[in-house]
């Protein structure tokens, strides 16, 4: 955790500023005053940030993090004080951020993908047992409710807590802690109308602010009673309930004292499982191997929609990239004529969609497709529920991408067209080629050479174009039987819903799908980059 920390320091590090570090050949380079001052200032800032970051680490006893922080800071000081390692001086600042916020999260994602991490599987087994037992203290029918005051015998912010409760039936006041309930003499207490105790001899009653500061302790406090246990429900009510489930070490299981049913711990799935396969919701985090990956392929409720999503994802990326490229190139070609006038004005107006804030325009498009009072239906006199049917919704999102993206392709195609020497096309027309032939044989190949790296990047970008879906259809329409995977969902929006959606987070499974997406994008991009061979020239 300490790499991010050294980040801020190194960002402002401006490593090149120090003129001291120089190649052996240039050892006579003078030490300038600005250079020296800059170096002192920035290294000082780094040290300051490191010290600032160290205190919370010491407080939290995170020694590994502290060691990493110290090592990073020391390495930075060494790097910028020595005359050697010149390339590293320029590469390290950006690389630090890259490692902390890009490489590390990717590796972390990869490791989560092999666990069942998610809602119900967040912590350790012990935490799960505590959660099961205390959540099973239930308010059984007929159990009494009490007016509750929180009090202590010691300091309001640290002293051991005591529940002061008033029995609504008898009006008697009792004090309760983990040892049990004791009756208090009616003369020693002041009870407000409604039964809440406002003062008691020997106790300090916490006010609302003090109580809410310790609300976690209050929630965790269980006062054993004859019939079960007393728990708080908020800061002013308590109820007497029964802990119906308890963990038994002997059988490594949880037993329900009411029904006698048992749930045995299963370390493979990280949950307590009953004989009939029923699981308790509170489980713990375990390694599940490859099951998140195989689940995508074998679980029928997932694999069917997943394949559909994958195909649509490719169609969307190819459709958006291809569509914008074709339209942009077409308009660039149309405007690319020596006799054409007013091209500057056209260009000014055509690229406006590219300069508008795209997140806002996506939302505006969403409302233009609104079925009841959207512009599209009004303008064309239609009555189409655009986002209600799979194919109209898909058409709509691709149309929106076309609008957002074609000005960009128009701009770059114009630039590339201007770079193609006019003599080439003139020569073909002298040789008797039709405009179409000359376009096919000369212009298009040259355009593709110039633009194919862009087209590949654009494909990779659109393949994971989260905004395009999330800000318009949000994946809708959803099939009636599957609310997690809609017709316009891309893999990335689907993953997002798995991880952060309302139906219980499945971080492990979401991470597995993230890795699938990594693999797909990387393979497609690498293969296409190889084929263009354009990159090879750049290594010169």
Partner 1 sequence: MTTLTGAARTGDTAGRPPATNRNVTGRRRNRWFAQVGWRHLVAVLAVLFSLFPIVFVLSAALNPLGTLSTTELVPTGGVSLGNFGGLFERTAFERWFLNSLLIAGVASFASVFLSALAAYAFSRMRFRGRRVGLLSLLLIQMFPQFLAIVAIYLIFGTITDLWPSIGFNTPWGLLLLYMGGALGVNTWLMKGFFDTLPRELDESATMDGASHAQVFFRIMLPLVAPILAVTGLLAFIGTINEFLMANVFLTSSDSKTLAVGMYGLLQGNERNNNFGIFAAGTLLTAIPTVLVFQLLQRYIVSGLTAGAVKG
Rounded-to-integer distance, Cα 85 and Cα 74, Å: 15
Q: What is the largest CA-CA distance in the chain?
A: 115
Contact present, 505 and 497 (Cβ < 8 Å)? no
Q: Measuring CA to CA, how many Å separate 454 from each of 73, 439, 525?
A: 39, 20, 11
Rounded-to-integer distance, Cα 152 and Cα 326, Å: 75
**In the complex, minimum distance from the CB of residue 295 to partner 1, in angstroms, rounded to a whole number:** 17
CA angle, 476 then 389 then 367, to 5°: 60
Burial of residue 506 (CB within 10 Å: 0-12, 13-18, 19+) is buried
Nearer to partner 1 (CB atom), residue 139 or residue 467: 467
Nearer to partner 1 (CB atom), residue 47 or residue 454: 454
Nearer to partner 1 (CB atom), residue 17 or residue 231: 17
Rounded-to-integer distance, Cα 213 and Cα 206, Å: 10
Nearer to partner 1 (CB atom), residue 22 or residue 219: 22
Per-residue DSSP letters for 409-473?
A: HHHHHHHHHHHS-HHHHHHHHHTT--HHHHIIIIIHHHHHHHHHHHHHHHHHHHHT-HHHHHTTT
Nearer to partner 1 (CB atom), residue 147 or residue 511: 511
Nearer to partner 1 (CB atom), residue 61 or residue 259: 61
Nearer to partner 1 (CB atom), residue 159 or residue 453: 453
Nearer to partner 1 (CB atom), residue 48 or residue 94: 94
Q: Measuring CA to CA, how many Å separate 326 from each of 296, 313, 400?
A: 35, 20, 15
3-state secondary structure of 400: helix
Considering only CA atoms, which of 70, 67, 21 is closest in space to residue 49?
A: 70
3-state secondary structure of 242: strand
Nearer to partner 1 (CB atom), residue 216 or residue 339: 339
Nearer to partner 1 (CB atom), residue 238 or residue 329: 329
**In the complex, minimum distance from the CB of residue 430 to partner 1, in angstroms, rounded to a whole number:** 18
Nearer to partner 1 (CB atom), residue 176 or residue 328: 328
**In the complex, minimum distance from the CB of residue 307 to partner 1, in angstroms, rounded to a whole number:** 20
3-state secondary structure of 222: coil
**In the complex, minimum distance from the CB of residue 383 to partner 1, in angstroms, rounded to a whole number:** 15
Considering only CA atoms, which of 359, 462, 449 is closest in space to residue 406?
A: 462
**In the complex, minimum distance from the CB of residue 99 to partner 1, in angstroms, rounded to a whole number:** 8
Nearer to partner 1 (CB atom), residue 122 or residue 255: 122
**In the complex, minimum distance from the CB of residue 17 to partner 1, in angstroms, rounded to a whole number:** 6
3-state secondary structure of 483: coil
Contacts of 160 (CB under 8 A, 6+ apart): 152, 153, 154, 177
**In the complex, minimum distance from the CB of residue 215 to partner 1, in angstroms, rounded to a whole number:** 18
HEC string for 313-329? HHHHHHHHHHHHHHHHH
**In the complex, minimum distance from the CB of residue 97 to partner 1, in angstroms, rounded to a whole number:** 4
Proportion of the chain in helix, strand, coil states, percent, rounded to 5: 55, 15, 30
**In the complex, minimum distance from the CB of residue 442 to partner 1, in angstroms, rounded to a whole number:** 18
**In the complex, minimum distance from the CB of residue 3 to partner 1, in angstroms, rounded to a whole number:** 10
Contacts of 129 (CB under 8 A, 6+ apart): 247, 254
Rounded-to-integer distance, Cα 414 and Cα 351, Å: 12
């Amino acid at each position: 955790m300490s790499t991010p920390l050294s980040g801020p320091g190194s960002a402002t590090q401006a490593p090149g500023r120090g003129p001291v570090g120089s190649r052996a050949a240039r050892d006579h380079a003078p030490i300038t005053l600005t250079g020296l001052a800059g170096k002192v200032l920035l290294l000082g800032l780094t040290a300051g940030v490191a010290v600032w970051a160290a205190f919370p680490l010491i407080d939290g006893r995170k020694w590994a993090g502290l060691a990493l922080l110290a090592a990073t800071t020391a390495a930075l000081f060494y790097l910028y004080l020595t005359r050697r390692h010149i390339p590293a001086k320029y590469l390290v600042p950006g690389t630090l951020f890259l490692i902390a916020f890009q490489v590390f999260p990717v590796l972390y994602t990869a490791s989560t993908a092999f666990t069942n991490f998610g809602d119900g599987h967040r912590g350790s087994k012990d935490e799960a047992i505590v959660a099961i037992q205390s959540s099973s203290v239930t308010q059984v029918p007929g159990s009494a409710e009490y007016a509750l005051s929180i009090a202590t015998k010691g300091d309001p912010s640290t002293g051991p807590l005591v529940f002061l409760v008033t029995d609504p039936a008898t009006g008697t006041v009792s004090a309760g802690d983990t040892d049990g309930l004791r009756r208090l003499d009616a003369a020693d207490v002041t009870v407000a109308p409604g039964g809440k105790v406002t003062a008691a001899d020997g106790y300090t009653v916490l006010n609302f602010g003090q109580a809410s500061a310790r609300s976690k302790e209050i929630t965790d406090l269980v006062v054993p009673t004859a019939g079960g246990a007393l728990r708080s429900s908020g800061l002013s009510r308590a109820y007497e309930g029964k802990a119906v489930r308890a963990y038994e070490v002997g059988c490594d299981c949880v037993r329900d004292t009411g029904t006698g049913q048992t749930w045995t711990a299963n370390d493979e799935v990280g949950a307590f499982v009953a004989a009939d396969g029923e699981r308790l919701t509170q489980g713990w985090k375990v390694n599940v191997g490859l099951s998140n990956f195989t689940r995508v392929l074998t679980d029928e409720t997932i694999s069917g929609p997943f394949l559909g999503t994958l195909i649509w994802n490719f169609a969307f990326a190819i459709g958006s990239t291809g569509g914008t490229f074709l339209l942009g190139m077409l308009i660039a070609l149309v405007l690319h004529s020596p006799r054409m006038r007013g091209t500057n004005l056209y260009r000014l107006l055509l690229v406006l969609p590219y300069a508008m804030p795209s997140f806002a325009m996506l939302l505006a498009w969403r409302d233009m497709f609104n079925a009841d009072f959207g512009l599209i239906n009004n303008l064309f006199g239609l009555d189409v529920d655009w986002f209600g049917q799979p194919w109209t919704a898909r058409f709509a999102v691709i149309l929106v991408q076309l609008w957002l993206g074609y000005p960009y392709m128009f701009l770059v195609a114009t630039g590339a067209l201007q770079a193609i020497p006019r003599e080439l096309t003139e020569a073909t027309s002298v040789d008797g080629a039709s405009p179409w032939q000359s376009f096919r044989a000369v212009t298009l190949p040259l355009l593709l050479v110039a633009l194919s790296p862009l087209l590949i990047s654009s494909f990779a970008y659109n393949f994971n174009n989260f905004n395009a879906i999330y800000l318009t259809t949000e994946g809708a329409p959803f099939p009636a039987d599957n609310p997690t995977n809609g017709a316009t969902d891309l893999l990335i929006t689907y993953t997002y819903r798995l991880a952060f959606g309302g139906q219980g987070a499945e971080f492990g499974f979401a991470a597995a799908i993230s890795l699938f997406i990594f693999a797909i994008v990387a393979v497609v991009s690498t293969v296409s980059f190889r084929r263009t061979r354009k990159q090879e020239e750049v290594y010169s």
